[in-house]
Structure 1
């Protein structure tokens, strides 16, 4: 009877060892695990049909637009209205001012199926683009690869859980729980990556910068005001500096007066 129990425990330890080896090989290639522990009997005809089915294309679209406008307020109202009509949203809104330009940059997320229509509406509204750059990146292969590796890890986690329920010794339980923890971290990382790709595919990202040039006369006036203010600030700074060093001037004046006084007395004698 004891021999049977000993043999049963050894069998479990052997199975645990095989699973640990398989998990270790999973990082370099999940196919090794699939071939070893996946359920046998997968109809080849069905696999062939699935292989022939076209994969769903997943594209991440981004773009950048830069253009001049004569009415920034009207341009902003137009963009916000078009964004809301397409269930998009603004992730960043920045305004900057230089000597002769007032610029606003919007980071916009638009549903991918609405991205083309949004670009057409903006293009109709703008006379000329300083910059118009649109790009697309196909992440279909990466998505399929992460999905496949995620399924493999989840299958392996299920087998570890089954083995944990049959574990006899504490050392077996601790080792299996350690391997489950490592697998869970990998699974959560892969799930996070898939969610990120889904979000980037579902919503296209567009950077829109529109600006207004400052008229020449306004620019001269603003430069004059800036120069006058700068000169006044420099004068105040000079007076403050003189206030700090006035004792040295007083000493210098006293020494100069002393030399002058004694010089006159010598000439008188």
Structure 2
């Protein structure tokens, strides 16, 4: 009985020793894991993602520019009465919010010409062309063209945005400049950038003006000799016109010769002086 009790005590002691070892190993493992967690949490945070360069940001912003289309046109219309047709043109211009930029009137013996440079909003350009084609007179010629300047506009806009960024950087450098030499150099850079920015902005304004307002060169033509009602011309009319033209040419020649009378008077004088000089030479 005593031996049995001693065996049980020994078994219990051995079991307790194994349990303590397992517990110590578990605690050690927990400390290792905890230490790793602490080291991970105390490590430096990941660096922020690299920021885009100013030019890249500018490019993405400029890519949203809408299409830039410049429309131009030339029309020549034959009319029966220049003044009446000019009144019709003014009415059409009012309806389409257009205006006359330049006006040139020429009156010759054969015809009358009224040349107009018209600026019209881009959206009303086609309607204006149709109105002139239908209600003014007989269209002799018409030429319409479109030019896509989106790429050119985008390129100038990107360069302009970048120049403005550089300008701000130079201005910041100017505030921190420590000597006169650096200040003068930075001011020269700033002056050059400001001039380039003014040129670029002017070019963008010019393109915007051409895009927003289309240009139409309109010419109103009236023939004086023959009206549009007598478009069929026979041999007799042509023969009479030829005789008239020949007589007018002859009269023009006679008048041209008469206009040279001072030279004709000078010829006898030159002959007299030449003979007199020749006679003296012989003596």
State the TM-score, normalizing by the size of structure 1.
0.66
Q: Distance in 1 between matches of 2:161 and 2:70?
A: 24
Matches within 5 A, 1:178-257: 178-215=188-225, 223=245, 226-227=248-249, 230-247=252-269
Instruction: Report the counterpart of residue 42 of structure 2 in structure 1.
Output: none
Q: Residues 166, 124 of structure 1: CA spacing in aligned structure 2 closer, same or farther, 3 A cutoff?
A: same
Matches within 5 A, 1:143-154: 143-154=153-164
Q: Which runs of 5+ in 2 are unaligned?
A: 1-50, 227-236, 277-283
Q: Distance in 2 between matches of 1:252 and 1:143?
A: 75
Q: Residues 181, 239 of structure 1: CA spacing in aligned structure 2 closer, same or farther, 3 A cutoff?
A: closer
Q: Which runs of 5+ in 1 are unaligned?
A: 1-33, 255-269
Q: Residues 84, 220 of structure 1: CA spacing in aligned structure 2 closer, same or farther, 3 A cutoff?
A: farther
Of 135, 149, 157, 2:145 maps to 135
- Indicate the SS of the match to 2:204: helix
Q: Residues 144, 234 of structure 1: CA spacing in aligned structure 2 closer, same or farther, 3 A cutoff?
A: closer
Of 114, 117, 122, 2:132 maps to 122
Following TM superposition, by how much is the alpha carbon of 1:121 offset from its aligned partner in structure 2, in angstroms?
1.1
Of 164, 168, 174, 1:164 maps to 174
Instruction: Report the counterpart of residue 25 of structure 2 in structure 1.
Output: none
- How many residue pairs get matched? 212
Q: Residues 176, 244 of structure 1: CA spacing in aligned structure 2 closer, same or farther, 3 A cutoff?
A: same
Partners of 2:85 and 2:136 within 8 A in 1:
no
Give yes or no for the alignment of 1:63 onto 2:70. Answer: no
Instruction: Report the counterpart of residue 9 of structure 2 in structure 1.
Output: none
Instruction: Report the counterpart of residue 230 of structure 2 in structure 1.
Output: none
Instruction: Report the counterpart of residue 75 of structure 1 in structure 2.
Output: 85
Partners of 1:99 and 1:219 within 8 A in 2:
no
Matches within 5 A, 1:6-85: 38=54, 55-85=65-95
State the TM-score, normalizing by the size of structure 2.
0.63
Q: Distance in 2 between matches of 1:166 and 1:145?
A: 32
Q: Distance in 1 between matches of 2:171 and 2:64?
A: 35
Following TM superposition, by how much is the alpha carbon of 1:130 offset from its aligned partner in structure 2, in angstroms?
1.8
Instruction: Report the counterpart of residue 173 of structure 1 in structure 2.
Output: 183
Out of 213-222 and 196-205, give the one that drifted further: 213-222
Q: Distance in 2 between matches of 1:62 and 1:209?
A: 14
- Indicate the SS of the match to 1:245: helix
User: Which structure would you say has the larger Rg?
Assistant: 2
Q: Distance in 2 between matches of 1:109 and 1:134?
A: 14
Instruction: Report the counterpart of residue 5 of structure 1 in structure 2.
Output: none
Following TM superposition, by how much is the alpha carbon of 1:247 offset from its aligned partner in structure 2, in angstroms?
3.3
- Indicate the SS of the match to 1:106: strand
Following TM superposition, by how much is the alpha carbon of 1:220 offset from its aligned partner in structure 2, in angstroms?
7.1
Following TM superposition, by how much is the alpha carbon of 1:159 offset from its aligned partner in structure 2, in angstroms?
1.1
User: Once the two structures are superposed, what CA deviation does each residue of 1:64-113 show, in whole Å capped at 9, x if it has no partner?
Assistant: 00121111111111112322343322222223355533222111111212
Partners of 1:100 and 1:219 within 8 A in 2:
no
User: Once the two structures are superposed, what CA deviation does each residue of 1:6-31 show, in whole Å capped at 9, x if it has no partner?
Assistant: xxxxxxxxxxxxxxxxxxxxxxxxxx
Instruction: Report the counterpart of residue 258 of structure 1 in structure 2.
Output: none
